[in-house]
Chain A
Amino acid sequence: MNALKFSRKNLGIPYAVFLAVFVILPLILIVYYAFTDANGAFTLSNFTNFFKSPTNVTILIRSFGIAFLSTVLCLVIGYPVAYLLARSNLKKSGVLLMLFVLPMWINFVLRTAAMKELLYFLGMYESGKLHYLNTVIGMVYDYLPVTILPLYTVIQKLDKNVLEASSDLGAKPLYTFINTTLPLSMPGIVSAITMVFLPSTTSYVISDTLGNSKVTIIGKLIENKFNSGAADSWQAGSAIALVLLLLIFVTMFISGKFQNDDDSSARGNGLW
């Protein structure tokens, strides 16, 4: 009977199995392929090959550039909206929030395709010179809802009394915003950055569709390497994937540093 005794720990088993098969195992495989050659011998040439090629490095920098720009734009557009929704006394703010988040309910590829048609209609798609702009527009369009949501949650939870205290102590509204509202909404900002920056470095569906296949970002490069048919296709692809993983770790570590360390109530904290 003892063997059949059910403990609460057992509830985690399905996830543990899932984790092992679909997260840990692929990671091990990536690491394995990244450090071996076509014959299975240890080598670092996959990495050196990657960094030796100026095209590859350009693509890497470009990916981060696009991601950075998209993230900044998302924050610049999303923060005021989230602030208004959370702090104003609008009776219908719930409905408004829903409108902003509604695009998330529509399939991502479908949304991107629709965006393409829209850009086409505006004459921005065919001009041939706006691929990067189109890509960034697409990224911002796709990731704006996930920017607004965490910001909204954090701003809404801000203690009104703390902001009043700032005003009470002689701070004009702008000073209060910069020195109190903004620092206190940092958890939401970090959360939003995570939600936007990460996927926009790699989601080549957007850059492919809206950049007319002329904008190659790192995700696309990895795909190309894996599908190249060369003898070392998996090794080369895995090495880039690993480089990307490490770079993202570094980025998240840096952005996480901006967050107040002991504010454990923040969403997504402890993830990075």
Chain B
Amino acid sequence: MAEKIIELVGVTKSYDGTTVVDDMTLYIRKGEFVTFLGPSGCGKTTTLRMIAGFEMPDSGKILLSGKDISDLPPYMRPVNTVFQRYALFPHLNVYDNIAYGLKLKKVKVTYQNNSGKTFTRTEKLTKAEISAKVKKALKMVDLEGFEKRDVTTLSGGQQQRIAIARAIVNEPQILLLDEPLGALDLKMRKDMQLELKEMHKKLGITFIYVTHDQEEALTMSDTIVVMKDGAIQQIGTPTDIYNEPKSSFVANFIGESNIFSGTIVGNRKVRFLGKTFDMVDDFELNEKVDVVVRPEDVFLVDEGLGQVDGLITSCIFKGVHYEMAMAIGNNEIVIQDTVQREAGTRASVIIKPADIHIMHKEFVSNVYDGIITKRNTVKFAEGEFECDVTQLYPGSYLDEEGYLVLKSGEKLDLTDEQVKVEIGLKDIEIIDNEDDGDSCGEIVSIIYKGDHYQIIVRTFEEEEDFVIDTEYAWNEFDKVSVKIAPEKIKLTLKVENKNERA
């Protein structure tokens, strides 16, 4: 394996109190084509900008070939960037745009004087050298003879090529590309993807590429880094990421997937869709798991012939294949197949053991740090919730004045007591009206899991998350409130407190 060229160690960056990149640790090997992939706002561009030097990390280190470059300004880093909106110099022509970096570059030249002694000194490149390099770079991007053209007269695709030429002409150790194809049309984008890949092979330098387009990432990368909320979700080759997603977020983000709730019922056996399936992974017996099945891995056969039967509810022609939805009990499974089956007909599905991907459940319950208030309610996640405080001490009860009376008869005031609050995913109710619940927030994510949705409601101020399983669909970015039944709130005292009282 090649040596590590760049390393991020515990890099954190926040703007106005919002953490954009959270304690990121990662290394990239020399010559790799690495893609940072994630939805907008996941911190991928900020990470790239920190490597380029446009942003300084709040904490953590960035190492280039083992040397700390965290504090170096961009002009001292052997790294060049291709910007999303090209960022060409509008007052310079094509030649001067590409030569901009070369004119600043200094190289070590070794001389031998008459007495045979050698000495080196740093010199600027000569005009002829610059001219030759610019020519070569233009050839590389297929724009020979464009030297004298004004950059503002070029098309978007040509401008992007010039931007790439301007960066690679400096022979950087790392080329950073910030969604460079985002502004191009689909056809041009596909062409450029292949050309960039080709260029990467030819130049042999490390490419770090940022995109939100999963297909682009799968096409071009050696390694994909999937990011979400400033943290790395998974690092792996395109095949690994696609076939073995580590979380339902990755599965959902990289291509379409069916995600079901399942239980491990035996040695390499998992139960979901009301049936037991064979699989290839080893998991602990009785563990609740998420099961991911890609739509193209589901085979349809006539009713009764497959592993489980269902009713086709829709069938849409998608060009190469048909996309069909099938209802199996309360679950819905999406299937891609080249053979059309009419909606309303019944069929059966077969899923091969190797195509069943099992993931540990991401959230088994919601856990918060809470504080008991005067009125024997518990405060957490920007809300005050009614709860049963007597569960903290077995055999205790509340007297008329609101004091907790222990079994021994001792009266206790629980005000400001710190507790751990635990709530099951199904025990939180979402209410449309922001004012009707006990705490409110915005829906930041919805993942469909076969027979229910897993929704994350994030509170506005402290950004606490409520992870909620519900059978009702909600819209992303909806502002909602949440309500929790008092008996569903499970409280435990923080350990140290308990000891004191014992």
Q: CB within 8 Å of B: which residues of A?
A: 159, 161-162, 164-172, 175, 179-180, 183-184, 186, 260, 262-263
Binds A, one of B98-106, B213-221, B361-369: B98-106
Contact with A along B46-73 (1 / 0, CB 8 A): 0000001110000000000000000001
Q: CB within 8 Å of A: which residues of B?
A: 52-54, 73-75, 79-81, 83-85, 87-91, 100-101, 104-105, 150, 152-153, 166-167, 170
Q: How many A-B residue pairs have CB under 8 A?
A: 71
A263-B90 in contact (CB<8A): yes
B105-A170 in contact (CB<8A): yes
A180-B89 in contact (CB<8A): yes
Partner of A167, one of B74, B85, B89, B105: B74
A168-B91 in contact (CB<8A): no
A164-B166 in contact (CB<8A): no
Please name the residue on chain A nearest to B163 by beta carbon.
A165
Other contacts beyond A167-B54, A170-B170: 5, CB < 8 A: A161-B83, A167-B75, A168-B52, A169-B166, A262-B153
Set of chain A residues within 8 Å of B153, measured between Cβ atoms: 262
B74-A184 in contact (CB<8A): no
SS class, residues of chain A in contact with chain B: helix
What separation, in Å, do the CA atoms of A164 and B85 have in the docked complex? 12
B104-A159 in contact (CB<8A): no
A169-B54 in contact (CB<8A): no
Set of chain A residues within 8 Å of B85, measured between Cβ atoms: 159, 161
Set of chain B residues within 8 Å of A165, measured between Cβ atoms: 81, 83, 87-89, 166
Please name the residue on chain B nearest to A182 by beta carbon.
B91
Partner of A168, one of B75, B84, B88, B105: B75
Q: Distance in Å from the Cβ of B262 to the closest Cβ of chain A?
A: 47
Set of chain A residues within 8 Å of B150, measured between Cβ atoms: 262
B104-A171 in contact (CB<8A): yes
Set of chain B residues within 8 Å of A180, measured between Cβ atoms: 89, 91
B104-A170 in contact (CB<8A): yes
B74-A164 in contact (CB<8A): yes
Set of chain A residues within 8 Å of B104, measured between Cβ atoms: 169-171, 175
Set of chain B residues within 8 Å of A162, measured between Cβ atoms: 87-90
13 contacts between A and B (CB under 8 A): A159-B85, A164-B74, A165-B87, A168-B52, A168-B79, A169-B75, A169-B101, A171-B100, A179-B100, A184-B89, A260-B90, A262-B152, A263-B91
Please name the residue on chain A nearest to B91 by beta carbon.
A183
Partner of B87, one of A161, A172, A175, A183: A161
A164-B170 in contact (CB<8A): no
Set of chain B residues within 8 Å of A172, measured between Cβ atoms: 75
Please name the residue on chain A nearest to B76 by beta carbon.
A170
What separation, in Å, do the CA atoms of A167 and B52 have in the docked complex? 10
Q: Distance in Å from the Cβ of B347 to the closest Cβ of chain A?
A: 53
Q: Distance in Å from the Cβ of B477 to the closest Cβ of chain A?
A: 28
Please name the residue on chain A nearest to B150 by beta carbon.
A262
Partner of B80, one of A161, A168, A184, A262: A168
Partner of A169, one of B53, B90, B170: B170
Set of chain A residues within 8 Å of B84, measured between Cβ atoms: 161
Set of chain B residues within 8 Å of A164, measured between Cβ atoms: 52, 54, 74, 81, 83, 87
